[in-house]
């Protein structure tokens, strides 16, 4: 089965490709000739994931799944949330985003959760799959693995950030890993 994963983020693409079973051939946006940025104009993670999957399916004719992920920090009323990638500006700099978040959390409670929503678009069918992992925002960055907010997010039950964990372990417990597992379970029931 061929599926397109609607992301230009190569780190995310590699991470997800490593989670999928061998009978699924994962295509990138580059593989199908989609080089433009797909707008994320919805105000929810679910809305953005559906928007991206629908865009690829409608314009390129492939079954597709897309994700949107947000870091929801309790002390900031769920911010940065749907704006996580652009929290510090349109340049989408992970370093700038982390610096802004760490500054905003000085002296505040640090509980947070990552939430990933995956939208699958196959023909007229739309399905949503959600993965959540709770944890804490660390006072400073730790680790060099991963991407995005990984160096400052420590999942519950761990003494290391996502950026300090081996990729296989991170994938097993992460929000994206959990959402992908729901997607895989669903795809297996579809034959």
Active-site annotation, residues: 68
- The radius of gyration computed from the CA coordinates of the chain, to the nearest angstrom, equals 16
Distance CA 71, CA 115 (A): 7
Please count the residues of the chain.
191
DSSP string, 45-87: HHHHHHHHHHHHHHHH---EEEEEEEEEEGGGTT-EETTGGGT
d(CA 173, CA 36): 31
Could you tell me if 34 and 40 are in contact, meaning their C-beta atoms sit under 8 angstroms apart? no
């Amino acid at each position: 089965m061929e599926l397109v994963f609607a992301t230009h983020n190569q780190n995310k693409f590699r991470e997800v490709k490593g989670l999928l079973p061998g009978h699924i051939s994962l295509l990138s946006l580059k593989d199908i000739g989609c080089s433009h940025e797909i707008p994320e104009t919805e105000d929810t993670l679910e809305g953005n994931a559906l928007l991206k999957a629908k865009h690829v399916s409608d314009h390129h004719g492939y079954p597709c799944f897309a994700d949107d992920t947000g870091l929801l920090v309790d002390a900031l009323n769920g911010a940065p949330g749907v704006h996580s990638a652009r929290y510090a500006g349109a340049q989408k700099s992970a370093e700038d985003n982390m610096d802004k978040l760490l500054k905003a959390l000085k002296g505040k409670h640090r509980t947070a959760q990552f939430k990933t929503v995956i939208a699958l678009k196959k023909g007229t069918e739309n399905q949503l799959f959600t993965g959540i992992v709770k944890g804490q925002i660390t006072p400073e960055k730790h680790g060099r693995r991963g991407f995005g907010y990984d160096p400052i997010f420590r999942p519950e039950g761990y003494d290391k950030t996502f950026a300090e964990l081996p990729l296989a372990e991170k994938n097993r417990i992460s929000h994206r890993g959990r959402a992908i597992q729901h997607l895989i379970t669903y795809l297996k029931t579809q034959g």
